[in-house]
Amino acid sequence: MNILSQQRAPIMEALNKYKKMRVVPFDVPGHKRGRGNEELTAFLGENCMSFDVNSMKPLDNLIHPVSVIREAEELAADAFGAKHAFFMVNGTTSAVQAMVMTACKAGEKIIMPRNVHRSAINALIISGAIPVYVNPGSNKELGIPLGMAVEDVKQAIKEHPDAKAILINNPTYYGICSNMKEITALAHRHGMLVLVDEAHGTHFYFSEELPASAMSVGADMAAVSMHKSGGSLTQSSLLLINNEVSEGYVRQIINLTQTTSGSYLLMSSLDISRKNLALHGEEIFKKVMNMARYTREEINKIGGYYAFADELKNGDTIYDFDLTKLSVHSLDIGLAGIEVYDILRDEYDIQIEFGDIGNFLAYISVGDRHLDLERLVSALAEIKRRYSTDKSGLFDHEYIKPQVVYTPQKAFYAPKETLPMAQSVGRISSEFVMAYPPGIPILAPGERITGEILEYIQYCKDKGSFMTGTEDREIEHINVVKESEQ
């Protein structure tokens, strides 16, 4: 048995060895190490193209790894404290879907907060699992959804003791964490699996100063976006499993939807990034926390903005807070978060992560420089001076409790008709409407359309949010379940 060494990067090592062998390629991809596509090679670089190779014996195979990919996954599991780690090349979306589909078959229930990413509800459409939504708490001053209250989870379990699993966000996009340890213990006492969407929580595994990670509290599965705070290439992710979850069965579930042509660029980026985090993660994220803390303090000195952090903790719906997050409330200067987002990009050449109605988020990582932080702070001060206005008339909430009528799968596949948005009040949506990012549905398939929801959607559009989800690209019409089906 090999002794695991976090100094290793098995996939990178195998690719370097293979490149030195100067093998003549009569396999795919057809660009043949870049020679067949000169413009792409000039754009991406010869080294990148030479490592875009096919699965073969020396390089293993993602759908059934037995050598270098297997070893890289074992190293990732060791680094993250999991029983096993799967390399995912279809993004954390596919990892979330694999978790739900592992835990629930068609007709089985899963308890989840309604402010989940669309990938979780997509998994319900694919699998036929039935959601039991727990409405998250909300902070009326900031207008943001929070975590799940433990008592609300207890009530959901009491009303649905046959549920197979509970899904938890750790953290939310804004950096807010539920009491995951208590919810995990509660779920396990009732024989339910605990699935954790850790798209924004990679760094939790590498610092004692940050909130607890899914694996550390005994959760059963976690989807981890290594490409966000972990440093790997976009679309690369990890799926972690723990306890009695079957590695073989999860692999089968993953292979239902994940590509059979796993990208070695994505896999090697996971391998190299895991090595970097395992060896240097603690110091990396200490630096990120310090940068975020400094920037929060400077923004709060401007006045009008509120860069919030762990002072919000209340022991339940805000059980903990991710100190690397730079989440900022902007309504007190009379601007929606998306308006600050647009001004920063269009007039200051500063691209932040997202803006919504009341808040915006700047994503801080080890790749940032102090000079860039100063530039952001000075731009925000200038925006306040130039654009600050009366806050009356601004929306002050980000979450509307849904009226769930049908399961997402039933509504999505039901006979449907298309109506202008304004004429759809009272009908049942058969598709999503959401602002992206963050990709949390305002309206999901199976939910009743209300005047309040339509007003909120129109407000988001008016403020410049990028709206997605409907078949109609203009988001002027919506597909609803035919009345004969209701």
Tell me which residue of 251, 277, 281, 222 sits closest to 82, measured CA to CA.
Answer: 222
Parallel, antiparallel or unpaired: strands 130-134 and 144-145: unpaired
Count Cβ atoms within 10 A of the Cβ of residue 375 and give its class: 0-12 exposed, 13-18 middle, 19 or more buried.
middle
**CATH 3.90.100.10 placement within the chain:** 408-485
User: Could you give the CA distance from residue 342 to residue 353 in angstroms, rounded to a whole number?
Assistant: 11
**CATH 3.40.640.10 placement within the chain:** 61-261
Overall CATH class of domain 408-485:
alpha beta
CATH number for the domain running over 61-261: 3.40.640.10
**What are 177's strand-pairing partners?**
320
State both tokens at 357.
């109605």
DSSP 3-state helix, strand, coil percentages of the chain (rounded to 5)?
A: 40, 15, 40
Q: Is the confidence at residue 1, as pLDDT, over 60?
A: no
Q: pLDDT averaged over the chain?
A: 94
Q: Is the confidence at residue 8, as pLDDT, over 90?
A: yes
What is the mean pLDDT of the segment spanning 156-180?
97
Count Cβ atoms within 10 A of the Cβ of residue 372 and give its class: 0-12 exposed, 13-18 middle, 19 or more buried.
middle
Confidence bin at 237 (pLDDT 50/70/90): very high
**121-133 burial code (b ≥16 CB/10 A, e <16):** bbbbbbbbbbbbb
Which residues are CB-neighbours of 18 under 8 A, at least 6 positions away?
53, 58, 59
Higher pLDDT, 441 or 282: 282
Higher pLDDT, 437 or 421: 421
Q: Is the confidence at residue 446, as pLDDT, over 80?
A: yes
Homologous superfamily of 281-387 in CATH? Aspartate Aminotransferase, domain 1 (3.90.1150.10)
**CATH 3.90.1150.10 placement within the chain:** 281-387
Confidence bin at 398 (pLDDT 50/70/90): low
pLDDT in tens, 106-164: 999 999 998 899 999 999 999 999 999 999 888 888 888 899 999 999 999 999 999 99
Helix segments in 30-67, DSSP class H: 38-44, 46-50
DSSP-derived secondary structure for 231-295: ---TT-EEEEE-TT--HHHHHHHHHHHS-SS--HHHHHHHHHHHHHHHHHHHHHHHHHHHHHHHH
